[in-house]
């Protein structure tokens, strides 16, 4: 699955181009110019430059093939326009715009809105710098030339503060600040709106504001402000009489256009939508366009984040209040699933596991075997991998390693690697695996496969030889998530991408599994496995939770719905000079055990990466060279093969036990449908880039439908 943009700000909505009057004939030659003040002339110039800026944004918003490198010409051009606009503050006595002192209904001229222009421009400048900051931290690099991470962060903070100085109710900036607090896990990095300003929009804090803000980073405030600004702006526009708009350019009043452009388009992400389905042919709609103002995308993003974070700290009634503002939601993960208080499962013998399996009230069946199986975890006194292999795996997949950079993990969609399991005759009656050719083969075939075989034999009564006749390949992929800003991993099914996109068929691995490299239950999100398949007719009654622990291994039937919850609690704040490598990471190595051959399904013929791809050539990728170190037969001869077939007791049999996973029920809770508010605003839409399917519409059918969505998830 791809990495979702967990800590980017809400995308700026497509701009509606205002009716900008750029000509010099706005005033006549009857002497009115003598009555114009310097402020009027500066204001007129400001609006002209602002109009050029919006046209520039519109022309560049659809360019998806821009160079993503730092310091692009597009960025420089935008900065130049922004800097030109910012000169206004040196020419006019600019005062902040407070909604408590000056509601939008009192705006009389464009001069009144100059502070709003500056607030939006500072937001845009902060957005440019933060995009570079996130790019450097996401991709684990800092170049010697140009601004470093600390400089980018400090400048962004200044621009955010200036944006809120001129308009404290700039919802887009409040959302940006909340994102930055969450990414750095530092609530003090940008001050949260004070109580007085929060009350300006009619919503005070509760008694536990400090605790709530320390976990929610200001998202509830951004949602509240976005809603209020939308209400005031739409009310202003609806009450602007068409009679006040004269047809003559001399009497053109730009105020409504700019209220729409600044407050609705820029600050809260609202667009004017036209319902073309209601058009008639009799001319009755010539004087009306059946249009309406959309819901606020800023409010939607802030509300979604508030619901997510309130769920994480088990304030489920608060979370529900935000969820009910979204259109069509029918289910959310039950509060039981979010609750971190879980039963401690003590080590048990393999026989006790088998007994638990038989007595379990909710037993699931593996996809390709009509045998009973439940999710289980393998743990050991020293882990499931020998120390030297575990350390090498942590080194290959550590944050900032060549693997993440060379595969462009932060920006690439789903990709994985497929290895066929090569069997050869060992005697007249048995077969054995070929010696491993690299680190991944060694870990998977020598140490993880025996654990899978052991579990299947205990639960299904299958012998190792029977199992090996069915398991013919394994698919692997890896994930890295910083605990600082981890929103979890969306609920999904493991499936063969080729059959989904080509044949529209659903095929799963026989068994899915997770090797936890780093991450612990106190700071990393739990893997959740739901008793639900793509063809379930009802939502899952039960959910198993696998809490991360270094060097442990979890397996479960490959056709079950699963995902990862957000990191459970507040982490230590990053210093301003730190990048994301310094934060604790949840590193996981996934293996899907196949019973059918899967062809190479790279999405592009010239790409090294895609679903079920072979390993890239060693000469192309450094990380591939790393996993072959120590396994090159040219340098080691038969020493490795001899070691592989040593007769000593295998490592996996020493002090490693199986555990049943904590189980909670129910797994889902229905959400009562919300009605449109008294303000007439449409219900919100879930932001696709943040949706983890923890809150869904139309479950369980929606999960089957999600398999065929071409969204690279």
% residues pLDDT > 70 (the chain): 65
Total residue length of the chain: 713
CA angle 450, 453, 455 (to 5 degrees): 110
Residues 303-308: contacts with CB within 8 Å, 24+ apart?
A: 303/219, 303/223, 303/684, 304/686, 304/687, 304/690, 304/691, 305/178, 305/182, 305/216, 305/217, 305/219, 305/690, 306/216, 306/219, 306/220, 306/223, 307/695, 308/487, 308/566, 308/690, 308/692, 308/694
Q: Has residue 209 got a pLDDT over 50?
A: no
| pTM for the whole structure | 0.82
Q: Which tens digits make up the pLDDT trace of 667-698? A: 999 998 766 555 678 899 999 989 999 999 99
**pLDDT value at position 359?**
34
**pLDDT value at position 585?**
85
Q: Has residue 275 got a pLDDT over 50?
A: yes
Span 400-409, mean pLDDT? 92
**Are the C-beta atoms of residues 434 and 466 closer than 8 Å to each other?**
no
Give the Cα separation of 293 and 305 in Å (integer): 23
**Are the C-beta atoms of residues 449 and 476 closer than 8 Å to each other?**
no
Q: Which tens digits make up the pLDDT trace of 503-513? A: 667 889 999 99
**pLDDT value at position 252?**
66
**Are the C-beta atoms of residues 181 and 160 closer than 8 Å to each other?**
no
**pLDDT value at position 242?**
52
Give the Cα separation of 303 and 540 in Å (integer): 26
Q: Has residue 702 got a pLDDT over 70?
A: yes
Phi-psi region of 464 (alpha: psi -120 to 50; beta: other; left: phi over 0): alpha
Q: Which tens digits make up the pLDDT trace of 81-96? A: 777 777 766 666 678 9
Q: Has residue 191 got a pLDDT over 80?
A: no
Q: Which tens digits make up the pLDDT trace of 114-126? A: 889 889 989 998 9
Q: Which residues pair with 423 in a beta bridge?
A: 433
Q: Which tens digits make up the pLDDT trace of 14-36? A: 444 444 343 343 344 444 444 55
- Single out the residue of 459, 272, 261 nearest to residue 365, CA to CA: 459
Q: Has residue 208 got a pLDDT over 60?
A: no
Span 640-660, mean pLDDT? 58
- Single out the residue of 258, 327, 264 nearest to residue 292, CA to CA: 264
Between 272 and 55, the higher pLDDT residue? 272
Q: Has residue 368 got a pLDDT over 50?
A: no
**pLDDT value at position 13?**
38
**pLDDT value at position 163?**
94
Q: Read off the pLDDT band of 2 (50, 70, 90).
A: very low
Q: Has residue 355 got a pLDDT over 90?
A: no
Span 617-642, mean pLDDT? 74
**pLDDT value at position 544?**
96
**pLDDT value at position 23?**
37
Q: Which tens digits make up the pLDDT trace of 535-577? A: 999 999 999 999 999 999 999 999 999 999 998 755 544 444 4
Between 341 and 443, the higher pLDDT residue? 443
Please, what is the average pLDDT of the chain?
76
Helix or strand or coil: residue 559?
Answer: coil
Span 203-226, mean pLDDT? 67
Side-chain half-sphere CA neighbours of 94 within 13 A: 24
Q: Per mean pLDDT, which range of 66-75, 185-194, 247-256, 464-473 is the poorest?
A: 66-75
Span 472-479, mean pLDDT? 94
Q: Which tens digits make up the pLDDT trace of 136-163? A: 776 655 555 567 888 899 999 999 999 9
Span 610-628, mean pLDDT? 93
Q: Which residues, other chains included, contact 367 with Cβ-Cβ below 8 Å and sequence gap of 6+?
A: 508, 509, 510, 533, 557, 558, 559
Q: Has residue 516 got a pLDDT over 60?
A: yes
**pLDDT value at position 463?**
52
Q: Phi/psi of residue 480, each to 5°?
A: -130, 125
Give the Cα separation of 174 and 176 in Å (integer): 5
Helix or strand or coil: residue 471?
Answer: coil
Q: Has residue 352 got a pLDDT over 50?
A: no
Q: Which residues pair with 663 in a beta bridge?
A: 544
Give the Cα separation of 305 and 218 in Å (integer): 10
Q: Per mean pLDDT, which range of 37-46, 279-288, 598-607 is the poorest?
A: 279-288
Asked if the 344-564+585-661 domain carries CATH number 3.30.410, the reply is: no
**Are the C-beta atoms of residues 295 and 676 closer than 8 Å to each other?**
no
Q: Phi/psi of residue 348, each to 5°?
A: -135, 160
Torsion angle of the four alpha carbons 637, 643, 647, 653, in this order, in degrees rounded to the nearest 10: -150
First to last CA, the chain: 5
**pLDDT value at position 184?**
82
Q: Which tens digits make up the pLDDT trace of 410-442? A: 888 889 999 988 765 444 444 456 788 999 999
Q: Has residue 70 got a pLDDT over 90?
A: no
Give the Cα separation of 500 and 494 in Å (integer): 11
Q: Which of 27-41, 97-111, 374-388 has the highest mean pLDDT?
A: 374-388
Q: Which residues pair with 613 in a beta bridge?
A: 417
Q: Per mean pLDDT, which range of 236-240, 472-476, 683-687 is the poorest?
A: 236-240
Q: Has residue 64 got a pLDDT over 50?
A: no
Residues of the chain with CATH 2.60.120: 344-564+585-661
């Amino acid at each position: 699955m791809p990495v979702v943009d967990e800590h980017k700000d809400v995308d700026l909505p497509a701009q509606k181009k205002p009716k900008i009057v750029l000509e010099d004939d706005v005033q006549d030659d009857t002497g009115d110019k003598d009555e114009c003040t310097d402020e009027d002339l500066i204001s007129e110039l400001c609006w002209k430059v602002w109009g050029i800026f919006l046209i520039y944004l519109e022309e560049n918003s659809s360019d998806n093939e821009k160079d993503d490198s730092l310091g692009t010409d597009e960025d420089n051009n935008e900065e130049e326009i922004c800097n030109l606009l910012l000169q206004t503050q040196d020419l006019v006595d600019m005062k902040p715009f407070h909604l408590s002192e000056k509601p939008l209904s009192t705006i009389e001229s464009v001069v009144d809105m100059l502070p709003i222009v500056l607030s939006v421009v500072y937001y845009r400048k902060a957005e440019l710098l933060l995009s570079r900051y996130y790019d450097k931290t996401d991709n684990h690099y800092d170049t010697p030339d140009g601004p470093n991470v600390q400089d980018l962060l400090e400048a962004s903070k200044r621009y955010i503060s200036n944006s809120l100085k001129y308009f404290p109710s700039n919802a887009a900036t409040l959302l940006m600040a909340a994102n930055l607090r969450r990414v750095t896990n530092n609530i003090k990095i940008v001050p949260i709106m004070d109580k007085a300003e929060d009350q300006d929009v009619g919503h005070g804090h509760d008694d536990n504001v400090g605790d709530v803000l320390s976990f929610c980073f200001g998202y509830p405030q951004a949602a509240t402000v976005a809603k209020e600004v939308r209400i005031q702006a739409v009310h202003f526009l609806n009450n602007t009489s068409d009679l006040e708009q004269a047809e003559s350019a001399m009497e053109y009043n730009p105020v409504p256009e700019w209220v729409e452009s600044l407050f609705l388009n820029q600050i809260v992400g609202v667009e004017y939508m036209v319902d073309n389905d209601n058009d008639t042919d009799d001319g009755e709609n010539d004087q009306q366009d059946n249009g309406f103002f959309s819901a606020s995308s800023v409010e939607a993003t802030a509300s979604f984040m508030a619901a997510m974070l309130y769920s994480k700290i088990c304030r489920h009634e608060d979370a529900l209040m935000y969820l009910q503002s979204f259109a069509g939601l029918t289910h959310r993960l039950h509060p039981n699933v979010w609750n971190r208080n879980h039963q401690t499962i003590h080590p048990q013998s393999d026989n006790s596991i088998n007994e638990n399996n038989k007595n379990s009230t909710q037993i699931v069946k593996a996809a390709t075997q009509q045998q009973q199986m439940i999710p289980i975890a393998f743990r050991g006194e020293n882990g499931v991998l020998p120390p030297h292999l575990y350390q090498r795996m942590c080194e290959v997949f550590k944050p900032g390693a060549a693997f993440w950079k060379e595969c462009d993990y932060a920006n690439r969609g789903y990709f994985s690697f497929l290895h066929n399991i090569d069997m050869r005759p060992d005697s007249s009656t048995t077969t054995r695996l070929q010696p491993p050719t690299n680190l991944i083969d060694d870990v998977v075939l020598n140490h993880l496969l025996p654990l899978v075989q052991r579990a299947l034999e205990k639960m299904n009564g299958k012998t190792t030889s029977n199992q090996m006749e069915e398991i013919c390949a394994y698919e692997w992929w890896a994930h890295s998530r910083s605990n600082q800003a981890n929103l979890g991993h969306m609920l999904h099914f493991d499936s063969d991408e080729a059959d989904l996109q080509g044949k529209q068929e659903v095929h799963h691995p026989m068994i899915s599994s997770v090797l936890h490299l780093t991450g612990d239950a106190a700071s990393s999100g739990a893997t959740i496995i739901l008793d639900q398949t793509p063809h379930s007719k009802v939502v899952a009654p039960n959910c198993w939770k696998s809490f991360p622990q270094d060097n442990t291994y979890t397996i479960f039937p490959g056709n079950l719905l699963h995902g990862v919850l957000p990191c459970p609690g507040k982490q230590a704040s990053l210093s301003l000079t730190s990048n994301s490598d310094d934060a604790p990471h949840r590193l996981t190595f996934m293996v899907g055990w196949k019973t059918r051959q899967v062809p190479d399904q790279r999405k592009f013929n010239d790409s090294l990466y895609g679903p079920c791809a072979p390993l890239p050539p060693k000469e192309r990728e450094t990380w591939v060279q790393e996993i072959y170190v120590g396994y090159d037969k040219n340098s080691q001869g038969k020493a490795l093969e001899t070691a592989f077939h040593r007769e000593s007791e295998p490592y996996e049999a020493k002090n490693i036990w199986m555990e049943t996973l904590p189980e909670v029920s129910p797994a889902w809770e229905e959400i009562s449908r919300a009605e449109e508010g008294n303000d007439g605003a449409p219900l919100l839409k879930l932001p696709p880039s943040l949706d983890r399917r923890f809150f869904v519409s139309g479950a369980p059918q929606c999960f089957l439908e999600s398999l065929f969505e071409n969204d690279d998830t």
